[in-house]
Chain A
Amino acid sequence: MIGEEKLKQIAEKALSFSKAEQTEVLLSVSGNALTRFANNQIHQNVAWKNLGISARVVLLNKKTRQNSDSGGQVGVASTNAFDDASLKDVIARATELANLQEPDPGFVSLPKPQKIIKVTDDIHHATEEEMAAGADVVIKKAMKENLIASGAYANDVSEIAVANSLGVWAHHAGSSCNLSTIVLGKDSSGFAADVARTPDEVDSELVAETAVQKALESKNPQDIEPGEYEVILEPQAVSEMMAFFQWYGPNARIYHEGASPLSDKMGSQVFGKNITIIDDPFHKDVFPMPFDFEGQPKKAITFIKNGVLQNIAYDSYHALKYHHQNTGHALPAPNTMGPIPLHMYIAAGDMTRDAMIKNVKRGLLVTRLWYVRVLNPKMLNVTGMTRDATFLIENGKIVRPVKNLRFNQSIPKALNNVVGIENKLTPLASFEGEMISLAPTLHISKWEFSSATLF
């Protein structure tokens, strides 16, 4: 890592090379390692380090249009070197692109400095030996039961800084350790994962135990007819379902285009009264992120309260364009996806997982989902498969493992049919650990399975 002081000097130097009205630089430094295992041995073991600078140059009122003299011309360039020649070149390339631009009437200004809550930098490097040892715990437990372990142990360390010519400066460094595994039997599989700040906090034993247990319990899965079932979605499945809501739901760009299922529904009851959805970058169980990729402060925000749409996510562009307060959800420029919340979760309820299972008359317990894709963003209906251990529940008891099924399900409908929410949130990482989300187990009264597969 380079450190805040030195990164600030680099950022200031890059900004000094720009003659544009406004300039922003986003700097990143990363060191990553990933130990991957399959067939009960480590087969890929990699480490890489990189740095990057992305410059956004803004020319204001350079060109005039017939009906408008406002708008900014914006160009973005990036490179992975911090020497003076590279800094000058990246600013020059961004400026050249900005000069070629037609003004965007929607662009008003880069954001001004805001007070950012300082979060202590929290960096932990995992050694090759620590990562290999984590993998070894899983492998040994799987081999003991004649199962085959595969998985990955990732350690990601990163430093991010944002500066702009209006005085914004924001810096944060953090890291994560993430162990995930899929344990395979002859006709079964089990998934488990753990994510933590330090290698010591990764519970390899629990990951191994959970995945092995799932693989054993899902042996000899039986055929089951597709159709409408009650489901218990475990936290990983809930997170996979909500990933597309995160993108297409409370996103100011898509909302104002009229393409979101939430469009024009501010203040309306959109989901069941038991659903509250929050984005909290300072939640005790997530890796804190005090600012967005424009260096604007992040804070906890409630999108849905008791089923009612209360807020959506904005970045500076959409906040100024639609005269709304910036909520600190910018992604790196140029961003054609719109502002997206990265710490979003469904608030915990009041039930235990076991109590929810007891309430199921005939339904399925789903460990996780796979290959979820949007069928229509406006309706936010998605398709996907179940994966890595699915079970039939009858009269409140898990009775047998079943083969995987394909679903076609509207997410808004699912969130209107939630009849039970677990009383705790489980931290979950993406496969590479750079993001963390939280999810409870959900009991949903109707879930549409449309076809079956052969395993």
Chain B
Amino acid sequence: MLKIAQDILSKIPSSVSYADVRIVEQESEDVATKDGVVEALESSQSLGYNVRILKNGVWSFAASYDMSEKGVDETIKKALAIVKASATHKTSNVQLDELEPIVDSYKTPIKEDPFKVPMSEKIKILLAADKAQKVSDKIAVTQASYQANRERKYFVSSIGSKIDQDIVWTGAGTDTTAVDGPELQNRSYPNSFRGQNQTRGFELVRELELEKHAPKYAQEAVELLTADTCPTGEFDIILDGNQLALQIHESCGHAVELDRVLGYEASYAGTSFLTTEKLFNFQYGSDIVNLTADATIPGGLGTFGYDDEGVPAQRTYLVKEGKFQDYITSRDTVRKLHEINNQYTKRSNGTVRASSWSRLPMIRMTNINLEPGGEEGTGKGWKLDELIADTKYGIFMSTNRSWSIDDKRYNFQFGTEIAWEIKDGKRGRMLKNPTYQGITPAFWNSCDAICGRDEWTVWGTPNCGKGQPGQVMYTGHGASPARFKKVKVGVVKW
């Protein structure tokens, strides 16, 4: 395929400033059970390519499934026509930052190829997990799901890069719904919205032991039906890792996307409060808050070898000891940043990805992480039990149920599936319908304790939406439970 990509690249006129070609083969499997029946059993494949051209200071992008000679000629012709249309309305020229050519291969390290595990075994695992949720006649819906994806990417560019990658990610989980009259409650394992997802093989599904864990979570869904409602007030809260992962995603990950900051996403997802004058001097969080973008973490859902511009995967500090340090960047946006802030001299930190061959690569989160406690600059590495014991009164919240944030990433509100009241250092009564709300910098500045690496997990968020046309990307978030002081809790009238 690299040869085919190279052949396509060779057809692009040499008058362009830059060009790259990406061929992508995607393969996926989805199995979903509901109430003891396999509701979805699907196998999907897609193959196509795109050409991305920079000419006369403007970008163009054309993509097609048609890899015949005629099809390729039409695609290139379309891309050149687009350049012409865009160039008549430009006010500045796109410039690309330096990049050395790279010739390399990358393959996700997996122990057990999910596509080679018999489908009958996958169905058996899910049906057992589905059945295990039937712990009460209050259980209205039982669900289990499994998904596996493989992307083979072949990238060549006019600077001489030739990169092929074989990226595999897998996920699974359970979701139980309990209903009693007007009351409805959910519990999922190990996380909501299709469980845990990582760039790993079927070994992840086996480690999750869905059938073993499902009854406990189903029972919690039943207990939530009669639990007390989460109280309203300003309380200390401890967020479990799976909830903190989404908090990081929404209030940090999107806020540090440099394309948003520069206004390129204003027409859809919005902009960001982390404007360029805040770089290096804004107190984003308390001094134990260290946030990184790290595409090199083994198993992280946002882990890869090279981004879709051919930039190597990297680890970057976004926030160090509370201070805002960096954005996630691309080759063109980083050049803009050099112009805006001459103190900033870094290269692209390699975060550009596209959701398929038919989509334009853009800045996407890799693995955006809250570094665990107990390491340099992160304070004490707490155990969750110690953290609870250290809390006079608070609410411990787990597993996301709802999320929403404004278009500059200031005002957020999250709901979780479950919470427990903490009184005098002890975890007490279960609470239903927990919600909390805050303003991003104030919230992160209230963080006073983070659990250590033993309780740190890279959670997968496979459903991150961005861009026009829309793209759904898979991203990761390393997090351990952490405590935040005086947060508005119970903000919804039920």
Contacts and interface: CB of A to CB of B under 8 A. Distances in A.
Interface in B229-284: 262-268, 270-271, 273
Nearest to A106: B37
B120 interface: yes
B263 A384 contact: no
B45 interface: yes
Nearest to B177: A259
Nearest to B266: A150
A257 to B, nearest CB: 6
B60 interface: yes
A316 interface: no
A36 B468 contact: yes
Interface residues of A, number: 89
B264 A43 contact: yes
8 contacts: A34-B468, A35-B86, A128-B81, A184-B266, A370-B406, A375-B415, A378-B182, A406-B404
Interface stretch (B89-97, B159-167, B210-218): B89-97
A455 B264 contact: no
B459 interface: no
A451 B470 contact: no
Question: Looking at A46, A257, A374, A378, which has the most chain B CB atoms within 10 Å of its CB?
Answer: A46
A453 B402 contact: no
Interface of A: 32, 34-52, 74-81, 93-94, 96-98, 100-102, 104-106, 127-129, 131-132, 135-136, 139, 148, 150-152, 154, 180-182, 184, 257-259, 334-336, 370-379, 381, 383-385, 387, 404, 406, 408, 431-432, 448, 450-455
Interface of B: 30, 32, 34, 37-48, 50, 58-66, 78-79, 81-86, 88-92, 94, 119-120, 123, 127, 140-141, 177, 179, 182-184, 262-268, 270-271, 273, 358-360, 401-408, 410-411, 413, 415, 433, 435, 437, 439, 468-470, 488, 491-494
Contacts of A257: 140-141, 177, 179
A37 B267 contact: yes
Contact of A50 (B32, B65, B266, B271): B65
Which 10 pairs between the two chains have the least Cβ-Cβ distance?
A334-B40, A128-B85, A453-B411, A378-B184, A150-B267, A48-B63, A150-B266, A48-B358, A46-B61, A132-B85
B264 A38 contact: yes
B89 A135 contact: yes
Given A38-B266, A135-B89, A385-B411, A78 B44 contact: yes
A152 B360 CA distance: 14
Contacts of B439: 453-454
B41 A373 contact: no
B360 A46 contact: yes
Contacts of A135: 89
B28 to A, nearest CB: 9
B402 A374 contact: yes
Contact of B82 (A38, A45, A259, A336): A45
Nearest to B87: A42
B91 A41 contact: yes
A128 B84 contact: yes
A32 B48 CA distance: 15
A104 B267 contact: no
B267 A152 contact: yes
A58 to B, nearest CB: 12
Contacts of B90: 41-42
Contacts of A93: 43
B443 to A, nearest CB: 12
A158 B402 CA distance: 34
A381 B40 CA distance: 28
Given A39-B264, A45-B59, A406-B413, A32 B469 contact: yes
A51 B405 CA distance: 36
B315 to A, nearest CB: 28
B128 to A, nearest CB: 12
A450 B437 contact: yes
Contact of B267 (A38, A98, A335, A408): A38
A69 to B, nearest CB: 16
A32 B267 CA distance: 19
Nearest to B28: A78
Given A79-B45, A451-B491, A44 B183 contact: no
B411 A48 contact: no
A195 to B, nearest CB: 14
B492 A334 contact: no
